[in-house]
Amino acid sequence: MVSCMTEKKEKIRHAILSILRDAESPLSSYAISSQLIDRGIEISERTVRLYLQVMDEEGLTMKSNRRCHAITEQGVQELGSWRTLERVGFLSARIDQMTYQMDFDLATGRGTVIVNITNVPPRAALEHAHSIKKVYEEGYSMGTLLTVFGPGEKVGSITIPEETVGIGTVCSVTLNGVLLKAGIPTISRFGGLLEIVDKRPVRFVEIIMYDGTSLDPLEVFIRSGMTDYTGAVTKGTGKIGASFREFPAASRNQVAKLASRLESMGLGGFMRIGHPNLALLEIPVAEGRFGAVVIGGLNPVAILEENGVKVHSRALAGLVDYDRLIHYDELERRLERFVR
């Protein structure tokens, strides 16, 4: 019982710190309590004040005035050092959360989509823009659209650092959101490295299950130097990021139609759509479902690492309006604004 109570308290503490970290300005205990309730944590404003009092004394938070609190640098570090085991399954939960939050309407072409953010010095991005565009041209990207954020701009909880730009690529979870609004549930199973031979997907050579990791699989593969986008775009043989989804068998025709409409709007991401109850690229599916291989959203910018450019990528970074996206052909022109 004591262990359960301690675990509950730790979750509340970290939830409060997370809310303060993501806030644009200090928050009152009432505002924090409201956000906690939105997250499914039933807690009174008075209890929040007690938590804040203790965290103020520990140096994790601080009063900005008589009523509002802000997170300290020590509090940020506390969040970052939260034990990995406590975060297992976090990515799976975040996928579901972002799926519900996006509101893109396929019929009107309006609303928000989910983007990944890659921070990179603008000059380096401009010098290697042709490589990024090549990934799009060869069809190894989530659609044909992207965006660029300047220093100081904020996407979700991420602020683009000075001396860098944030290249926003469409996250593959955007497909989940579109399908959900059409009444089709998605089961996101895993992210992996997909082997390409003669421009055709052959098999997954590495996989990481979404419900057993706190990190995006493609981020892991990129940082580990396991990808081969250069080979894929120049020779048609290499290793790229992709993921595996499952859908109800009865929805296959509708999924195929929606995939075609998404592609026409620059949001195409389905590489292969399987058949009910049959394995796809050697991956078995559950009875009454069919599988699909979806292209990794970070693929276009991942090739920068292969060209010796150190970048920092964050999948599922936040939501942006669809109107903010541009065709990849405009990338160089957009980057030139930030190169002095």
**Res. 15 pLDDT band, cuts 50 70 90:** confident
Q: CATH number for the domain including 67?
A: 1.10.10.10
Q: Are residues 113 and 50 both part of a single domain?
A: no
Number of structural domains (the chain) is 2
- How many CB atoms within 10 Å of residue 213? 19
Q: Are residues 78 and 104 both part of a single domain?
A: no
pLDDT, tens digit (0-9, with 9 covering 90-100), for 18-39: 899 888 789 999 999 988 887 7
DSSP code at position 337: G
**Residues pairing with 326 in the sheet:** 146
- Asked if residue 271 belongs to a domain, the reply is yes
Cα 257–chain centre separation: 25
CB 330 within 8 A of CB 165: no
Q: What is the mean pLDDT of residues 86-100?
A: 74
Q: What is the mean pLDDT of residues 302-320?
A: 88
Q: Are residues 308 and 170 both part of a single domain?
A: yes
Side chain identity at residue 173, one-letter code: V
**Three-state DSSP class for 19?**
helix
Judge residue 183's burial from the number of C-beta atoms within 10 Å of its C-beta, 0-12 exposed, 13-18 middle, 19 or more buried. Answer: exposed
Q: CATH number for the domain including 199?
A: 3.30.70.1360
Residues 224, 262: Cα–Cα separation, whole Å: 32
Q: Which of 187, 159, 193, 162 is nearest to 314 (CA)?
A: 159
| Domain boundary residue, one of 33, 52, 82 | 82
Which contiguous run of DSSP H or E holds residue 207?
A: strand 200-209
The whole-chain average pLDDT of the chain stands at 89
Residues 225, 227: Cα–Cα separation, whole Å: 6
Residue 26, φ and ψ in degrees, nearest 5: -55, 150
Cα 142–chain centre separation: 12
**Three-state DSSP class for 246?**
strand
Q: Which of 65, 27, 155, 102 is nearest to 15 (CA)?
A: 27
Q: Are residues 235 and 330 both part of a single domain?
A: yes
Q: Are residues 115 and 31 both part of a single domain?
A: no
- How many CB atoms within 10 Å of residue 299? 28
DSSP per-residue letters across 143-185: SSEEEEE-TT-EETTEEPPTT-EEEEEE-THHHHHHHHHTT--
Residue 117, φ and ψ in degrees, nearest 5: -120, 135
pLDDT number for residue 5: 53
Q: Are residues 60 and 147 both part of a single domain?
A: no
**Res. 7 pLDDT band, cuts 50 70 90:** low
pLDDT number for residue 81: 65
**Residues pairing with 293 in the sheet:** 244, 272
Q: What is the mean pLDDT of residues 295-308?
A: 91
- pTM for the model stands at 0.75
| pLDDT for 85 beyond 50 | no
* Percentage of the chain modeled with pLDDT above 70: 94
pLDDT number for residue 3: 44
pLDDT number for residue 2: 39
What sign does the CA torsion over 50, 52, 58, 63 have? negative
Q: Are residues 45 and 150 both part of a single domain?
A: no
CB 196 within 8 A of CB 216: no
| pLDDT for 199 beyond 60 | yes
CB 177 within 8 A of CB 104: yes
| Domain boundary residue, one of 22, 56, 82 | 82
Q: Are residues 273 and 202 both part of a single domain?
A: yes
CB 60 within 8 A of CB 72: yes
Which residue range is the domain that position 105 belongs to? Answer: 100-335
| pLDDT for 84 beyond 50 | no
* Residues sharing a CB contact under 8 Å with residue 10, sequence separation 6 or more, in sequence order: 86
Q: What is the mean pLDDT of residues 78-95?
A: 64
| pLDDT for 279 beyond 60 | yes
pLDDT number for residue 6: 62
- Asked if residue 92 belongs to a domain, the reply is no
DSSP code at position 328: G
Give the least confident one: 47-61, 74-88, 215-229. 74-88
* Residues sharing a CB contact under 8 Å with residue 79, sequence separation 6 or more, in sequence order: 14, 17, 18, 21
CB 239 within 8 A of CB 196: yes
Helix 2-22 to helix 29-38 angle (10° resolution) is 110
- Asked if residue 112 belongs to a domain, the reply is yes
- Asked if residue 177 belongs to a domain, the reply is yes
